[in-house]
Amino acid sequence: MLEQELREFLLNKGVTDVGFSEIDNADTGDLKYAVSIVVKLSDAIIDEIDDAPTPTYFNHYRTVNAFIDRCLLEAGLFLQSKGYKYITVAASQSMPTTPFNGRYSHKEAAHKAGLGNIGKNDLFLHKKYGARVRLGTLFTDCELHGDGILKENPCINCDKCVKACPSGAILGVSYYDGIKREEMFSPSVCSEYMKKAYQKIGRGAVCGICMQVCPVYNMKK
């Protein structure tokens, strides 16, 4: 099956996990099958985050995003060589009309692929690695099928992310299918705080505190 061939292709590139789903609400024409990839972040780097992000984390964030984009491109070329079309969604890129959203939500695609769920912190919680991951998405017209939505949510409602967020952007509302992002989390509040507080660290582009304190599948917490 092509799913297994593509999964092995991506795992051999170094990604941590791969999933597939069919998505009807993406503006991608007849390319309605999504490939979701997961890359586990370095625990040692995340553990260094305390009350602010570190320069090492900012570099790690950018480097992993670049790796994800490269893997998506190679997956697309793999599918193209077999006669299929593809569109990659950048690991971290906002759209001009929606400054806090990408072309399609990586979290929603990964959730629909059965790779995990979404926590109170508005982060994707991988079913094995929790919040310490980055995601990427590719759309194709190649019919690919996954395991379906993971019904269980690993979020334990501990509210550590709510209490730790220095901007107050995490509203403490649990995720459910159909909830609007703004009901859980204010991206504008988060962004404005980062720009002011962390200007000397990546020009205020990253934080990571809510991810660092999340205890899901992190036994140190």
Looking at residue 94, its pLDDT comes to 79
In 137-165, which positions are buried (b, 16+ CB within 10 angstroms) versus exposed (e)? Answer: bbbbbbebebeeebeebbbeeeebbbebb
Nearest Cα residue to 117 out of 72, 67, 184 = 184
C-beta of residue 39 within 8 angstroms of C-beta of residue 16: yes
Looking at residue 96, its pLDDT comes to 80
Looking at residue 219, its pLDDT comes to 55
Region label for 139, one of left (φ > 0), alpha (ψ between -120 and 50) or beta (otherwise): beta
> Each residue's pLDDT tens digit in the chain (221 positions)?
799 999 999 999 999 999 999 999 999 999 999 999 999 999 999 999 999 999 999 999 999 999 999 999 999 999 999 999 999 999 998 778 777 888 999 999 999 999 999 999 999 999 999 999 999 999 999 999 998 998 889 999 999 999 999 999 999 999 998 999 999 999 999 999 999 999 999 888 899 999 999 999 875 55
DSSP 106: H
pTM for the full model? 0.94
Looking at residue 98, its pLDDT comes to 75
| Residue 175 to residue 179: CA distance in whole angstroms | 7
Which amino acid is present at 141?
D
Give the full edge-to-edge strand order of the sheet including 86-89: 17-22, 33-40, 133-140, 86-89
Sign for the pseudo-dihedral over CA of 79, 81, 86, 90: positive
Q: Could you tell me the CA-to-CA distances from 101 to 1, 70, 108 in Å, in that order?
A: 33, 21, 12
Judged on CB neighbours under 10 Å (0-12, 13-18, 19+), 83 is: exposed
Looking at residue 220, its pLDDT comes to 55
Looking at residue 100, its pLDDT comes to 82
Looking at residue 59, its pLDDT comes to 97
Q: Could you tell me the CA-to-CA distances from 164 to 35, 125, 133, 172, 211 in Å, in that order?
A: 33, 17, 19, 12, 10
Looking at residue 161, its pLDDT comes to 97
Looking at residue 106, its pLDDT comes to 96
Looking at residue 218, its pLDDT comes to 77
| Residue 33 to residue 143: CA distance in whole angstroms | 6
